[in-house]
Amino acid sequence: MELHQRDMTATFAAEVTLEKARAELAKIGQWIAIDGDPGSPIGELIAFNSTGPLRLGYGAWRDLLLGVQFTNGRGELISAGGRTMKNVAGYDLTKFMVGSAGVFGKIVAATVRTYRRPQGALLARFPTDVKIVGKLIPTSLRPQWAMLTKTELFCGYVGDKRTIDYYKMALSQAEPLDVRERSIEEDIADRAQLWRAEGVTTFRASVPPMKIQEFATALTENHWVADAAFGVVIGSDVADEQVATIEYVAAAVGGSVRFFGRASESDSTPAIDFSTNPVERQIIEKLKLAFDPDGLLTPLPRQFR
Protein backbone atom coordinates (compact mmCIF):
# COMPACT_ATOMS: atom_id res chain seq x y z
CA MET A 1 0.00 0.00 0.00
CA GLU A 2 1.50 3.34 -1.05
CA LEU A 3 -0.15 6.69 -0.31
CA HIS A 4 0.68 9.82 -2.29
CA GLN A 5 -0.86 12.67 -0.30
CA ARG A 6 0.62 15.45 -2.40
CA ASP A 7 -1.09 14.41 -5.64
CA MET A 8 -4.09 12.77 -3.87
CA THR A 9 -3.55 9.29 -5.22
CA ALA A 10 -2.93 5.92 -3.61
CA THR A 11 -1.56 2.60 -4.85
CA PHE A 12 -2.90 -0.62 -3.36
CA ALA A 13 -2.18 -4.29 -3.82
CA ALA A 14 -5.21 -5.92 -5.40
CA GLU A 15 -5.95 -8.06 -2.34
CA VAL A 16 -6.33 -5.06 0.01
CA THR A 17 -9.99 -4.72 0.97
CA LEU A 18 -11.92 -1.50 0.44
CA GLU A 19 -12.45 -1.31 4.21
CA LYS A 20 -8.70 -1.53 4.87
CA ALA A 21 -7.95 1.04 2.17
CA ARG A 22 -10.46 3.46 3.65
CA ALA A 23 -8.97 3.01 7.12
CA GLU A 24 -5.45 3.77 5.92
CA LEU A 25 -6.55 6.76 3.86
CA ALA A 26 -8.56 8.14 6.80
CA LYS A 27 -5.28 8.55 8.70
CA ILE A 28 -4.29 11.29 6.27
CA GLY A 29 -7.81 12.69 5.77
CA GLN A 30 -8.42 11.02 2.39
CA TRP A 31 -10.84 8.40 1.05
CA ILE A 32 -11.75 6.36 -2.04
CA ALA A 33 -15.12 7.69 -3.18
CA ILE A 34 -16.49 4.48 -4.64
CA ASP A 35 -19.35 2.11 -3.87
CA GLY A 36 -18.70 -1.54 -3.14
CA ASP A 37 -18.69 -4.25 -0.49
CA PRO A 38 -16.19 -2.99 2.13
CA GLY A 39 -14.99 -6.53 2.76
CA SER A 40 -14.13 -7.17 -0.90
CA PRO A 41 -10.61 -6.73 -2.32
CA ILE A 42 -10.04 -3.63 -4.43
CA GLY A 43 -8.91 -5.76 -7.37
CA GLU A 44 -12.22 -7.63 -7.32
CA LEU A 45 -14.27 -4.43 -7.08
CA ILE A 46 -12.47 -3.09 -10.16
CA ALA A 47 -12.73 -6.35 -12.07
CA PHE A 48 -16.48 -6.55 -11.47
CA ASN A 49 -17.06 -2.76 -11.68
CA SER A 50 -18.72 -2.00 -8.35
CA THR A 51 -19.55 1.57 -9.45
CA GLY A 52 -22.79 2.78 -7.84
CA PRO A 53 -24.75 6.00 -7.16
CA LEU A 54 -21.75 7.83 -5.62
CA ARG A 55 -20.67 8.25 -9.24
CA LEU A 56 -22.82 11.41 -9.36
CA GLY A 57 -20.54 13.22 -6.95
CA TYR A 58 -17.15 11.63 -7.57
CA GLY A 59 -17.10 9.58 -10.75
CA ALA A 60 -16.95 5.86 -11.57
CA TRP A 61 -14.08 3.37 -11.46
CA ARG A 62 -13.13 4.43 -14.97
CA ASP A 63 -12.67 7.98 -13.63
CA LEU A 64 -10.91 7.03 -10.39
CA LEU A 65 -8.57 4.33 -11.67
CA LEU A 66 -5.34 5.97 -12.85
CA GLY A 67 -3.04 2.99 -13.20
CA VAL A 68 -3.14 -0.79 -12.99
CA GLN A 69 -0.77 -3.74 -13.03
CA PHE A 70 -2.06 -7.14 -14.09
CA THR A 71 -0.79 -10.48 -15.29
CA ASN A 72 -2.04 -11.93 -18.55
CA GLY A 73 -2.73 -15.61 -19.25
CA ARG A 74 0.98 -16.34 -19.64
CA GLY A 75 1.89 -14.76 -16.32
CA GLU A 76 3.48 -11.69 -17.92
CA LEU A 77 3.20 -8.52 -15.84
CA ILE A 78 1.61 -5.63 -17.73
CA SER A 79 1.64 -2.06 -16.37
CA ALA A 80 -0.77 0.58 -17.66
CA GLY A 81 -1.42 4.20 -16.67
CA GLY A 82 0.27 5.90 -13.75
CA ARG A 83 -0.33 8.46 -11.00
CA THR A 84 -1.70 11.32 -13.12
CA MET A 85 -4.84 11.79 -15.19
CA LYS A 86 -3.04 12.59 -18.50
CA ASN A 87 -0.69 9.70 -19.03
CA VAL A 88 -2.32 7.51 -21.67
CA ALA A 89 -0.87 7.00 -25.13
CA GLY A 90 -2.49 4.45 -27.42
CA TYR A 91 -4.87 1.87 -25.96
CA ASP A 92 -6.12 2.65 -22.46
CA LEU A 93 -5.63 -0.73 -20.80
CA THR A 94 -6.38 0.83 -17.40
CA LYS A 95 -10.06 1.39 -18.21
CA PHE A 96 -10.10 -1.88 -20.16
CA MET A 97 -9.60 -3.80 -16.91
CA VAL A 98 -12.68 -2.26 -15.27
CA GLY A 99 -15.46 -4.83 -15.40
CA SER A 100 -13.24 -7.41 -17.15
CA ALA A 101 -14.07 -10.06 -14.49
CA GLY A 102 -10.61 -11.64 -14.67
CA VAL A 103 -11.18 -12.80 -18.24
CA PHE A 104 -8.21 -10.91 -19.74
CA GLY A 105 -5.89 -10.70 -16.75
CA LYS A 106 -5.53 -10.84 -12.99
CA ILE A 107 -5.15 -7.44 -11.34
CA VAL A 108 -2.07 -7.21 -9.11
CA ALA A 109 -2.07 -3.56 -8.06
CA ALA A 110 -4.09 -0.40 -8.71
CA THR A 111 -3.45 3.33 -8.40
CA VAL A 112 -6.58 5.32 -7.66
CA ARG A 113 -7.52 8.95 -7.29
CA THR A 114 -8.50 9.92 -3.75
CA TYR A 115 -10.53 12.78 -2.28
CA ARG A 116 -10.61 14.69 0.97
CA ARG A 117 -12.56 12.58 3.44
CA PRO A 118 -16.01 14.07 4.23
CA GLN A 119 -16.66 15.01 7.85
CA GLY A 120 -20.35 14.19 7.77
CA ALA A 121 -23.41 13.40 5.70
CA LEU A 122 -27.10 14.16 5.23
CA LEU A 123 -29.87 11.95 3.90
CA ALA A 124 -32.86 13.72 2.35
CA ARG A 125 -35.97 11.66 1.61
CA PHE A 126 -38.43 12.65 -1.14
CA PRO A 127 -41.55 11.20 -2.80
CA THR A 128 -40.96 8.77 -5.69
CA ASP A 129 -40.54 11.37 -8.42
CA VAL A 130 -37.29 11.12 -10.39
CA LYS A 131 -37.89 14.63 -11.78
CA ILE A 132 -36.83 15.99 -8.38
CA VAL A 133 -33.25 14.88 -9.05
CA GLY A 134 -33.23 16.67 -12.40
CA LYS A 135 -34.34 19.86 -10.68
CA LEU A 136 -31.68 19.59 -7.96
CA ILE A 137 -28.66 18.78 -10.15
CA PRO A 138 -28.21 22.24 -11.76
CA THR A 139 -28.55 24.01 -8.39
CA SER A 140 -26.40 24.40 -5.28
CA LEU A 141 -28.40 21.50 -3.81
CA ARG A 142 -26.94 18.94 -6.23
CA PRO A 143 -26.61 15.69 -4.23
CA GLN A 144 -23.55 13.45 -4.25
CA TRP A 145 -25.80 10.45 -4.87
CA ALA A 146 -29.48 9.73 -5.54
CA MET A 147 -31.40 6.45 -5.40
CA LEU A 148 -34.98 5.64 -6.33
CA THR A 149 -36.85 2.66 -4.88
CA LYS A 150 -40.44 1.49 -5.18
CA THR A 151 -41.46 3.70 -2.27
CA GLU A 152 -38.99 6.60 -1.90
CA LEU A 153 -36.36 8.81 -3.50
CA PHE A 154 -33.20 9.25 -1.44
CA CYS A 155 -30.66 12.03 -1.99
CA GLY A 156 -27.34 11.92 -0.18
CA TYR A 157 -25.02 14.79 0.69
CA VAL A 158 -21.49 14.56 2.07
CA GLY A 159 -18.91 17.20 2.91
CA ASP A 160 -17.15 19.14 5.63
CA LYS A 161 -19.06 20.63 8.56
CA ARG A 162 -19.61 23.97 6.86
CA THR A 163 -21.00 22.32 3.73
CA ILE A 164 -23.30 20.04 5.71
CA ASP A 165 -24.61 23.01 7.71
CA TYR A 166 -25.39 24.80 4.43
CA TYR A 167 -27.28 21.82 3.05
CA LYS A 168 -29.28 21.46 6.27
CA MET A 169 -30.43 25.06 5.98
CA ALA A 170 -31.00 25.16 2.21
CA LEU A 171 -32.74 21.82 1.71
CA SER A 172 -35.98 23.21 3.10
CA GLN A 173 -36.37 24.95 -0.28
CA ALA A 174 -36.66 21.55 -1.98
CA GLU A 175 -39.43 20.41 0.41
CA PRO A 176 -38.11 16.96 1.33
CA LEU A 177 -40.18 14.61 3.45
CA ASP A 178 -37.40 14.70 6.01
CA VAL A 179 -33.64 15.31 6.37
CA ARG A 180 -31.39 13.34 8.68
CA GLU A 181 -27.79 14.13 9.63
CA ARG A 182 -25.43 11.21 10.10
CA SER A 183 -21.79 10.12 9.97
CA ILE A 184 -19.97 9.28 6.77
CA GLU A 185 -19.74 5.67 8.01
CA GLU A 186 -23.54 5.51 8.32
CA ASP A 187 -23.91 7.02 4.87
CA ILE A 188 -21.62 4.38 3.33
CA ALA A 189 -23.36 1.51 5.13
CA ASP A 190 -26.89 2.69 4.30
CA ARG A 191 -26.06 3.24 0.62
CA ALA A 192 -24.51 -0.23 0.43
CA GLN A 193 -27.65 -1.74 1.97
CA LEU A 194 -29.84 -0.05 -0.63
CA TRP A 195 -27.60 -0.57 -3.66
CA ARG A 196 -27.59 -4.34 -3.97
CA ALA A 197 -28.91 -7.08 -6.22
CA GLU A 198 -29.24 -10.61 -4.88
CA GLY A 199 -30.17 -14.04 -6.21
CA VAL A 200 -28.94 -16.59 -8.72
CA THR A 201 -29.88 -14.31 -11.63
CA THR A 202 -29.81 -10.51 -11.38
CA PHE A 203 -29.81 -7.69 -13.91
CA ARG A 204 -28.36 -4.26 -14.55
CA ALA A 205 -30.31 -2.02 -16.90
CA SER A 206 -29.51 1.36 -18.40
CA VAL A 207 -32.56 3.48 -19.25
CA PRO A 208 -33.24 7.22 -19.61
CA PRO A 209 -33.63 8.57 -16.05
CA MET A 210 -37.11 9.92 -16.79
CA LYS A 211 -38.15 6.41 -17.89
CA ILE A 212 -37.06 4.55 -14.75
CA GLN A 213 -40.55 4.26 -13.30
CA GLU A 214 -41.99 3.19 -16.67
CA PHE A 215 -39.35 0.47 -16.90
CA ALA A 216 -40.12 -0.58 -13.33
CA THR A 217 -43.62 -1.66 -14.38
CA ALA A 218 -41.99 -4.92 -15.52
CA LEU A 219 -40.45 -5.47 -12.09
CA THR A 220 -43.45 -5.95 -9.83
CA GLU A 221 -42.07 -9.30 -8.63
CA ASN A 222 -38.51 -8.11 -8.05
CA HIS A 223 -36.54 -6.05 -5.60
CA TRP A 224 -35.00 -3.20 -7.57
CA VAL A 225 -33.22 0.08 -6.96
CA ALA A 226 -32.19 2.78 -9.42
CA ASP A 227 -29.46 5.36 -9.70
CA ALA A 228 -31.85 8.23 -10.26
CA ALA A 229 -29.25 10.49 -11.89
CA PHE A 230 -27.87 8.08 -14.48
CA GLY A 231 -30.79 5.72 -15.08
CA VAL A 232 -28.99 2.57 -13.94
CA VAL A 233 -31.39 0.02 -12.46
CA ILE A 234 -30.30 -3.16 -10.69
CA GLY A 235 -32.69 -5.96 -9.78
CA SER A 236 -32.77 -9.24 -7.88
CA ASP A 237 -34.15 -12.76 -8.23
CA VAL A 238 -34.94 -12.80 -11.94
CA ALA A 239 -36.91 -15.86 -13.02
CA ASP A 240 -36.14 -17.37 -16.45
CA GLU A 241 -39.61 -16.49 -17.70
CA GLN A 242 -39.07 -12.81 -16.82
CA VAL A 243 -35.99 -12.30 -18.98
CA ALA A 244 -37.77 -11.65 -22.27
CA THR A 245 -40.25 -9.23 -20.67
CA ILE A 246 -37.54 -7.23 -18.93
CA GLU A 247 -35.54 -7.05 -22.17
CA TYR A 248 -38.63 -5.93 -24.11
CA VAL A 249 -39.58 -3.17 -21.65
CA ALA A 250 -35.99 -1.90 -21.44
CA ALA A 251 -35.83 -1.61 -25.23
CA ALA A 252 -39.28 -0.01 -25.36
CA VAL A 253 -38.16 2.88 -23.14
CA GLY A 254 -34.93 3.37 -25.10
CA GLY A 255 -32.62 1.40 -22.84
CA SER A 256 -30.81 -1.91 -22.56
CA VAL A 257 -30.33 -4.61 -19.96
CA ARG A 258 -27.74 -7.23 -19.08
CA PHE A 259 -28.27 -10.28 -16.92
CA PHE A 260 -25.78 -11.73 -14.47
CA GLY A 261 -25.63 -15.20 -13.02
CA ARG A 262 -24.09 -17.33 -10.30
CA ALA A 263 -23.82 -21.09 -10.10
CA SER A 264 -26.14 -21.12 -7.08
CA GLU A 265 -27.55 -18.92 -4.32
CA SER A 266 -24.70 -19.97 -2.02
CA ASP A 267 -21.98 -19.22 -4.59
CA SER A 268 -19.83 -16.36 -3.26
CA THR A 269 -18.19 -15.67 -6.63
CA PRO A 270 -19.20 -12.26 -8.03
CA ALA A 271 -21.87 -12.60 -10.70
CA ILE A 272 -20.70 -12.32 -14.31
CA ASP A 273 -22.49 -11.11 -17.42
CA PHE A 274 -23.81 -13.97 -19.52
CA SER A 275 -25.94 -12.08 -22.06
CA THR A 276 -23.42 -10.39 -24.37
CA ASN A 277 -24.82 -9.84 -27.85
CA PRO A 278 -23.28 -11.77 -30.78
CA VAL A 279 -21.23 -8.88 -32.23
CA GLU A 280 -19.73 -7.99 -28.86
CA ARG A 281 -19.11 -11.66 -28.19
CA GLN A 282 -16.94 -11.99 -31.31
CA ILE A 283 -14.82 -9.00 -30.30
CA ILE A 284 -14.45 -10.27 -26.75
CA GLU A 285 -13.43 -13.74 -27.97
CA LYS A 286 -10.62 -12.21 -30.08
CA LEU A 287 -9.41 -10.14 -27.12
CA LYS A 288 -9.58 -13.21 -24.92
CA LEU A 289 -7.33 -15.10 -27.34
CA ALA A 290 -4.82 -12.23 -27.41
CA PHE A 291 -4.54 -11.90 -23.62
CA ASP A 292 -5.07 -15.54 -22.68
CA PRO A 293 -4.08 -17.79 -25.62
CA ASP A 294 -3.79 -20.88 -23.43
CA GLY A 295 -7.14 -20.38 -21.65
CA LEU A 296 -5.68 -20.27 -18.14
CA LEU A 297 -7.62 -17.25 -16.83
CA THR A 298 -11.31 -16.96 -15.95
CA PRO A 299 -13.27 -18.42 -18.89
CA LEU A 300 -15.71 -16.31 -20.85
CA PRO A 301 -19.21 -16.50 -19.36
CA ARG A 302 -21.65 -18.73 -21.10
CA GLN A 303 -23.96 -17.19 -23.67
CA PHE A 304 -27.53 -16.88 -22.43
CA ARG A 305 -28.92 -18.00 -25.77
What average pLDDT does this structure show over 128-148?
Answer: 96
Domains present along the chain, CATH in parentheses: 2-116 (3.30.465.10), 120-189 (3.30.70), 201-261 (3.30.70.120)
Average of per-residue pLDDT values in the chain: 90
For residue 187, pLDDT beyond 80 = yes
Which pLDDT band holds residue 264 (cuts at 50, 70, 90)?
low
Per-residue model confidence (pLDDT) at position 13 = 97
**Once rounded to an integer, what is the mean pLDDT over residues 109-127?**
96
pLDDT value at 205 more than 90:
yes
Q: Nearest to residue 136, comparing CAs of 114, 120, 152, 154?
A: 154
Note the pLDDT tens digit of each residue in 271-287: 667 655 788 888 889 99
14 compared with 274, residue with greater pLDDT: 14
Instruction: Identify the pLDDT of residue 84.
Output: 52
What is the reported pLDDT for 305? 44
The residue that leads in pLDDT, 86 or 239, is: 239
- Give the pLDDT mean for 27-42: 94
pLDDT of residue 178: 96
Query: Could you report the per-residue pLDDT of 85-94, keeping only the tens digit for each?
Result: 444 454 578 9
Q: What is the pTM of this model?
A: 0.89
